Structure 1
Amino acid sequence: MLTPKSPRLPEPRIREGVTGHEVDRGVKNQLRTLSKENAEGVAQHLVMVAELLDVDAQAALAHAETAVRRAGRVPAAREALGLVAYRLGDWARALGEFRTVRRLSGSNHLLPLMVDCERALGRHDKALELAQSPETSTLAIDDRVELAIVVSGIRRDLGQSDAAVAGLADLSRRISPNRPSAARLYYAYADAKLAVRDVEGAREWFSRAADADHELTTDAAERLDELDGVEVTDLLGDDDELMTDGDLSAADEDDADEDGELDDDDLDDEDLDDADDDDQDDDGDLEEDADDEDDEDDEDDEDDAEDDELDEGDPQTALTEPDRVDGSDSRSDLAPTFLDGRPQTADGDDADDTRSDDEREVDGRRD
């Protein structure tokens, strides 16, 4: 009896611009066993795994599972799924995928991760047995460093602190500080020395780790400061916020004082207006007196002349309010344009796309 197949899940979306040609030459050779269309699709999903692994592991898992469904016997696809599972802490699944990669490719470069998975599953004896297998002698120097760090951690888990230090001593003194794995090795060695209370030795190797850690992959500098008793002070604490609030309050008070001064100016203008009214009243009284004198002595020409002079009135002084100049703030509406969080070139293409093919190639395995 045939069992119905489970419906195929929709494949995750490939980011625009991903062609699949970004994978390295070794992965391309592995994909030659597939059809051209399928090989291109699997390569695109592998590129997406590399892009999302450190950003969104769940999204990377969807792409890795899709690559395995389409190319289950391609080592690069199984390795990608194992790396995502390892990042998610699914140790058993990661170990199974790494074993499959080793069987399909014959490569031992994943042995450090396999040992770490055994350790995470609580099988320390099996982890040490695998770490001491003859195949470890074929590992590259950086893979040997990773294996030594894992074994040192296992020794510490078992309470063998001195053995943890001894396992890293030889490599730490022989490795070049310019190698990518040097900072991690120095850091692990310093941590192991600190576990046996060798504070001076720990300080020396944390210092070396900080000097070699150009990519800031460790917190060696912070650990060194802790040993030196250096305390980090937050320069933007609550006191600064209170001072800022006080400054704002003082500014408000200054504004209020300015408003008060403006009110005083308004009162001065009113006083001037009252004085003008008083002058006009005085002029009116003079005019009335002149009319009375005309009635009493119409024949007195000299008095009439004086009255006529009084009738002309005093000149009025016009008060003009100064013109108010209104200022306006100007702003620029221009802003840089981004596409999906990436800067564009003048042609509208992603700035990252200007790299060469060799620079955009994604390594199919973890260094």
Structure 2
Amino acid sequence: MPDDVEPRDLDKVARNELKTLSKENADWVAKHLVMASRLIEDDPELAHRHAMSAARRAGRIAVVRESLAITAYETGDYALALRELRTFRRISGSDEQLPLMVDSERGVGRPEKALELGRSVDRSTLTPASQVSLAIAMSGARLDLGSAELALGELEIPQLDPDRAFSYSAALYDAYAEVLSELGRDDEAAVWRRRATVAGELFGDGPDEDETIVIIEEGGDAPEGSDVDEADLDEADLDESELDDAALEDDAALDAPELEPVTDDDDPDHADSEGVALDSDDEPAVDGDEENPTDTEEDADGVVRPHED
């Protein structure tokens, strides 16, 4: 663990979720989550090991399971990502990671299941950024099935506005351009790629997603777009699988940083909020790490970008 890593470096919302843990345990978990965030772009494998270490100590905290899912996704382990996203969704009650779940279904070779999952939630309940991410993931699933026209339709949502750009617009414009190219509409694709480049440059410093930039260009009217029809489906029942212990059973292979052991005697967090001893099937476990406590509480929030970005 680098000396400059401090628990306070973790996002405030995530830190609040760790308040159910003992201070020593919360600080270790926070440091591992900070490292996972730092490394996710340049070294996703190492970021994943940090997320694994956090999961061993706080497997019932939503943001920890979310981080483990994201790092698994970035390393290409879509099956583990899907399991962890299901667990995160169950613990937090949030659908904001639905786009990543849809893309993970694509990653394991189930585009039909991806489409079914994407239709199981009312998109109006998602944030605009998640609506865009979901549209891109659904479009990708359509392409997987060889339906380019339907893939284009998935992207023709209100956010596909050539005159107003948000932080998520560049990814949407680029995805739209790719499908246009797939359909042989290269001139239109070039226009949307240029718009994607402009939007990306405008939001290169990462402003708030609610910030709007008005783009004035000569010509190039917006395509006729409308909300993608939503099937009137109840939320799909998901398999309620816990974290697969086998995915975390070899500590030496993970090369995870060594953690100071915390015993049951000095860690009141080893029981859940009602004082119930934790079921071992609910918690990540690694051989040789039995002394690390696992804490319990359920609450979270967070969003990531989809596979196509």
Shorter-chain TM-score category? 0.5 to 0.7
1 CA distance for matches of 2:171 and 2:161?
14
Which residue does 1:277 correspond to in 2? none
2 CA distance for matches of 1:17 and 1:216?
24
- For residues 145-294 of structure 1, the aligned pairs below 5 Å read 145-174=132-161, 177-214=164-201, 215=204
Q: Is the 8 A contact 2:160 2:172 kept in 1?
A: no
Q: Deviations over 1:130-156 (max 9, x none)?
A: 100134331111111111011111111
Larger Rg: 1
**CA 1:196/1:131 → structure 2, altered by over 3 Å: closer, same or farther?**
same
Structure 1 gap ranges (5+): 1-13, 218-362
**Count of matched residue positions in the alignment of Structure 1 and Structure 2:** 209
Q: Is the 8 A contact 2:138 2:151 kept in 1?
A: yes
Question: Which residue of the other structure, out of 17, 20, 23, is the alignment partner of 1:33?
Answer: 20
Structure 2 gap ranges (5+): 207-299, 305-309
2 CA distance for matches of 1:81 and 1:167?
29
- Does the residue aligned with 2:136 lie in a helix, a strand or coil? helix
Question: Which residue of the other structure, out of 104, 118, 123, is the alignment partner of 1:136?
Answer: 123
Q: Is the 8 A contact 1:108 1:135 kept in 2?
A: no
Which residue does 1:108 correspond to in 2? 95
Deviates more, 1:132-141 or 1:57-66: 132-141
Alignment-mate amino acid for residue 115 of structure 1: V
2 CA distance for matches of 1:193 and 1:164?
10
Deviation at 1:170, TM superposition (A): 3.0
Instruction: Among all aligned residue pairs of Structure 1 and Structure 2, give the percentage whose two residues are the same amino acid.
Output: 42
Deviates more, 1:166-175 or 1:99-108: 166-175
Question: Which residue of the other structure, out of 65, 90, 94, is the alignment partner of 2:77?
Answer: 90
- Does the residue aligned with 1:85 lie in a helix, a strand or coil? helix
Question: Which residue of the other structure, out of 86, 100, 105, is the alignment partner of 1:118?
Answer: 105
Matched, 1:16 2:17: no
Q: Deviations over 1:159-203 (max 9, x none)?
A: 111111122123353476431110110011111111111122112
| Structure with greater contact order relative to length (CA < 8 Å, sep ≥ 6) | 2
1 CA distance for matches of 2:23 and 2:157?
48
Question: Which residue of the other structure, out of 73, 82, 92, is the alignment partner of 2:60?
Answer: 73
Question: Which residue of the other structure, out of 52, 56, 64, is the alignment partner of 2:39?
Answer: 52
TM-score, normalised by the number of residues in structure 1: 0.54
TM-score, normalised by the number of residues in structure 2: 0.64
Q: Is the 8 A contact 2:165 2:199 kept in 1?
A: yes
Alignment-mate amino acid for residue 101 of structure 2: M
Which residue does 1:365 correspond to in 2? 302
List, as ranges, runs of 4+ consecutive aligned residues in structure 1 with deviation greater than 6 Å. none
Q: Is the 8 A contact 2:160 2:173 kept in 1?
A: no
Which residue does 1:352 correspond to in 2? none
Q: Deviations over 1:203-222 (max 9, x none)?
A: 211111111111399xxxxx
Q: Is the 8 A contact 2:160 2:169 kept in 1?
A: no
**CA 1:40/1:216 → structure 2, altered by over 3 Å: closer, same or farther?**
closer
